[in-house]
Amino acid sequence: MAEAATLPPLNLALQGGGSHGAFTWGVLDALLEDGGFTLEGISGTSAGAMNAVALAHGFAQAAQQHKDAREAHQAGCTLARETLTKLWEGVGAMGSLWGAPLQGNPLLGMMSQWLSPYQTNPLDINPLRGLLESVVDFGALCHARHAWIPKVFVCATNVRTGRGEIFSGARLSADAVMASACLPMMFKAVQIGGEHYWDGGYSGNPALYPLIYQTQTCDVLLVQINPIEHHDLPDTAPDIMERMNEVTFNASLLGELRAIDFVRRLLAEGRLDPQHYKSMRMHRIDGGSVLAPFGAASKTRADMGFVRQLFQLGRTQGQHWLQRHRHDIGVRHTLHLTENS
C-alpha cells in the first residue's frame, strides 16, 4: 500500500436501491482492499447513505487509534471493511433492508395499497435504526476533524418543500440516514428539526453538488445500481411501476451529470473562468445492468445468501474497474454521458 500522502484523491457517489446496496458494499470492499486512493468525500442516498456512514466510521475509528497518516489510512481501510461487513451481515440476519412489519406479511402488504404507514405501522417500527446505531458511532463522525476521514453527505427529501437537503458534519445522524431511506408508503416521515423528510432518491440519488462545492477533489466515482436504460418495453403493472421508479430516481442524477458535462466543455473551450468553475472528472461502476436480471422485487429481499451474492458481484465489478481505470484518476474522465457509457 502506497504512502497515504501520495495516493490520488477520489470522491464517491453512492446510489440507493434497497438491498441492492449490498452490491455497493462489494465495490467498496474491493476499493478498500486495494487501498490505492484517499477518499475526501462520500455522497450517499438511502442504502448508499448507509454504506457511506459505515465506511467513514471505519476511518473515524482509525483516527482515534493512529496519528500517523499512513497508518491511519491503512487501519481505516481495514476498519471500514469490517464495519460494512457488520452492517450488511446484520441486514442479512434480519432478512430485509428495512426490517419493516410489511415485509413477509402478505395481508399488510396488500393493505399498503390503500392504507398509509400511519395506519399500518403506527409505532413506526424499524429495526434497521437499531442495527445502524450499533454499527456506526455518529458522534465520532460529527466531530471528525482529521483530513483522512471522508466527509459524508447524506441526501433526504424535505416533504414540505420537495427539495433535497444535505446532512453532513454536525447534522449527520442516524435520523438523517433513516430519513434518506424513508419510503413514504412504508414508514412515517422522519422528523428532524421541525421538518419532515422522505427518501432522498426523489431529489438526489445521489446528490453530486456537495462533492463539487465542499471538497477539493475533482474525480468522482459513481456507483450506480439503478439502470438508466431499459431495453424491453414494460407491459405488466409491476414492470411499469418499477420502470417509473427507475426514471424518477435517476432524473436528478442525470440532470447533474449533464450540467457537469456542460461546464467541463465550456472550460475546455475557454468560455468559463477556471478560477470560479471546477472541471469534474466523472467515473462510473454501473451495477444497474448487472442487477437488472434480479428484478424489482429483489430490492426488498435481503436474506444472507442473496446479500453475499450481491457482495461478490460488486467486488468483481470493483476489481474490474480498478484494472481498467486506476490510472485515469487525476488524468481524464471515463464517464461519457453523451455516449451513455
Binned at pLDDT 50, 70 and 90, residue 142 comes out as: confident
pLDDT score, position 297 = 77
pLDDT at 67 over 90: no
Cα–Cα dist 230/191, whole Å: 35
pLDDT for the residue numbered 53 = 98
Question: For residue 240, what is its C-alpha cell?
Answer: 411499469
What pLDDT score does 107 carry? 45
Cell of 141: 463522525
Report field, pTM of the whole predicted structure over 0.75: yes
Dihedral angle sign, alpha carbons of residues 136, 142, 146, 148 = positive
DSSP 8-state assignment for residue 158: E
Quick one: pLDDT at residue 277? Answer: 92
Per-residue model confidence as pLDDT tens digits over 112-132: 555 655 645 555 667 889 999
Q: For residue range 235-287, list pLDDT tens digits in order.
A: 888 788 888 888 888 889 999 999 999 999 999 999 999 989 999 999 999 99
pLDDT of 285 reads: 97
Average pLDDT over every residue of 301-330: 96
Which candidate, 282, 205, 289, places its Cα nearest to that of 247? 205
pLDDT of residue 98: 52
Give the model confidence (pLDDT) of 170-228 as tens digits: 999 999 999 999 988 888 999 999 999 999 999 999 999 999 999 999 999 999 998 88
The more confidently predicted of residues 137 and 336 is: 137
Specify the pLDDT at position 106: 47
87 pLDDT higher than 60: yes
pLDDT at 96: 63
The yes-or-no verdict on residue 1 having pLDDT over 50 is no
Q: How confident is the model at residue 102 (pLDDT cuts 50, 70, 90)?
A: very low
Confidence (pLDDT) at 121: 59
Cα separation, 44 vs 12, in Å, equals 8
Average pLDDT over residues 10-30: 96
Name the least confident of 161-175, 282-296, 307-321.
282-296
pLDDT band at 301 (very low <50, low <70, confident <90, very high): confident
Q: What is the pLDDT of residue 317?
A: 97
Largest CA distance in the chain: 61
Count of C-beta atoms within a 10 Å radius of residue 333 = 19
Residue 92: pLDDT over 80: yes
pLDDT score for 54: 98
Please tell me whether residue 287 adopts helix, strand or coil conformation: coil
